[in-house]
């Protein structure tokens, strides 16, 4: 009787043991974006306010629905740029529209009637954290309805495995019911980095915004200081993705880095200072990139004769 021949290959892999580090964020997660292995976690399922890292989801869903239409022009509505003060929103007990952008919040100065491409809006969303850009994208993808966009985006996020996420706006201004967790944000970032448009946008440091029928050309600058060479927090292996800040959310960061064929994603939420997130993300990346290599055994197609578990890896993401 002929015995089946098992083809076995040994390829390099990397240890996935929990890293020995204490980050200052209230919640954190570090994953290998290629394998989904969780390398570090701290309160990763704790529901928290995300502030502007919400815009990762907005960009992700926009690209899911309109990645072939980035050169298409959007006409900005007055509804997309309607505003309210944070005090007035709080005083209303959050009964006013969650879509209204807050006075003094980040924006790219969109004006009613302005004609802007989807591509420019995405850069304004992810580099300058434009709340007005978020609403403009939501209106476009929602075919005139931001409520429709949010409903569809939440359903899309659930389909990805984001079970703790409930978003009420495309920009992330505070609302008691607008929540997510570090694990869900890592899932979003991991999916986003598989999209070449998303990956290009979030790794861009400056973007020359073209002139429009309402504004002169300007330059948009990345808020993620891990990407900016002039910043004391510059990290040469960083490739994205988004910062967030709010009085209730405090400081949040979703960051990604790539080195020697590996891509890592770090999520840090509710830090007391923005600089802590930049510093701790870089430390997490460095520790993980310097983990020792292991051997990983791959078999050819057919019945699997054994199982393999990376030492120290308690689980994977998604």
**Domain CATH number, residue 167:** 3.40.710.10
Q: What is the rounded end-to-end Cα distance, in angstroms, of the chain?
A: 42
Model pLDDT for residues 281-300, shown as the tens digit of each residue: 999 999 999 987 544 443 44
Is 227 a member of any domain? yes
> What does DSSP assign to residue 5?
P
CB-count exposure of residue 306 (10 Å: 0-12, 13-18, 19+): exposed
SS3 140: helix
User: By residue range, what is the domain housing residue 218?
Assistant: 42-250
Task: Identify the active-site residue in 129, 169, 203, 271.
Answer: 129
Residue 275 lies in a domain: no
- The pair of three-digit structure tokens given for residue 268, joined into one six-digit string: 């840090």
Tell me if residue 83 is catalytic. Answer: no
Residue 63 located in a structural domain: yes
pLDDT tens digit sequence for 210-255 = 999 999 999 999 999 999 999 999 999 999 999 999 999 999 999 9
In a domain, 309, yes or no: no
Among 47, 193, 179, smallest CA distance to 126 is for 193
Catalytic option among 52, 77, 203, 271: 52
Query: Which residues make Cβ contacts (< 8 Å) with residue 91, sequence separation at least 6?
Result: none
Q: Is residue 95 part of a domain?
A: yes
pLDDT digits (tens, 9 = 90+) for 54-91: 999 999 999 999 999 999 999 999 999 999 999 999 99
Q: Is the pTM of this model over 0.85?
A: yes
129 is catalytic: yes
The residue from 55, 225, 242, 250 that is catalytic is 55
Check residue 162 and give its pLDDT: 98
Q: What is the mean pLDDT of residues 193-198?
A: 98
User: Residue 287 domain-assigned?
Assistant: no
Residue 274 lies in a domain: no
Domain count, the chain: 1
Predicted pLDDT at 293: 55
Residue 11: band (very low, low, confident or very high) from pLDDT cuts 50, 70, 90: very low
288 found inside a domain? no
168 phi/psi in degrees, rounded to 5: -110, -10
């Amino acid at each position: 009787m002929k015995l089946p021949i098992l083809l076995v290959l040994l390829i390099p892999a990397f240890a996935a043991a929990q890293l020995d580090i204490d980050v200052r964020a209230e919640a954190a997660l570090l994953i290998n974006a290629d394998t989904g292995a969780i390398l570090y976690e701290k309160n990763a399922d704790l529901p928290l306010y995300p502030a502007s890292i919400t815009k990762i989801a907005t960009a992700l869903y926009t690209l899911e629905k309109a990645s072939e239409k980035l050169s298409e022009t959007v006409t900005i509505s007055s509804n997309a740029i309607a505003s309210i003060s944070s005090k007035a929103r709080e005083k209303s007990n959050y009964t006013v529209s969650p879509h209204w952008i807050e006075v003094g919040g980040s924006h790219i100065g969109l004006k009613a009637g302005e004609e802007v491409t989807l591509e420019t809006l995405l850069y304004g969303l992810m580099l300058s954290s434009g709340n007005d850009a978020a609403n403009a994208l939501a209106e476009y993808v929602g075919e005139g309805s931001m409520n429709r966009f949010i409903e569809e985006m939440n359903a899309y996020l659930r389909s990805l495995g984001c079970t703790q996420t409930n978003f009420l706006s495309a920009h992330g201004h505070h609302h008691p019911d607008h929540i997510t967790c570090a694990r869900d944000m890592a899932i979003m970032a991991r999916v986003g980095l598989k999209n070449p448009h998303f990956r290009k946008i979030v790794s861009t440091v400056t973007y020359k915004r073209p002139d429009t029928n309402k504004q002169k050309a300007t330059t948009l600058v990345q808020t993620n200081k891990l990407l900016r060479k002039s910043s004391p927090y510059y990290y040469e292996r960083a490739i994205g993705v988004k910062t967030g800040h709010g009085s209730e959310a405090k400081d949040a960061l979703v960051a990604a880095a790539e080195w020697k064929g590996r891509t890592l994603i770090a999520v840090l939420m509710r830090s007391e200072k923005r600089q802590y997130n930049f510093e701790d993300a870089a430390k997490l990346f460095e520790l993980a990139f310097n983990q020792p290599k292991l051997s990983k055994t791959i078999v050819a197609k057919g019945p699997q004769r054994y199982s393999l578990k990376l030492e120290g890896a308690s689980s994977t993401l998604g």
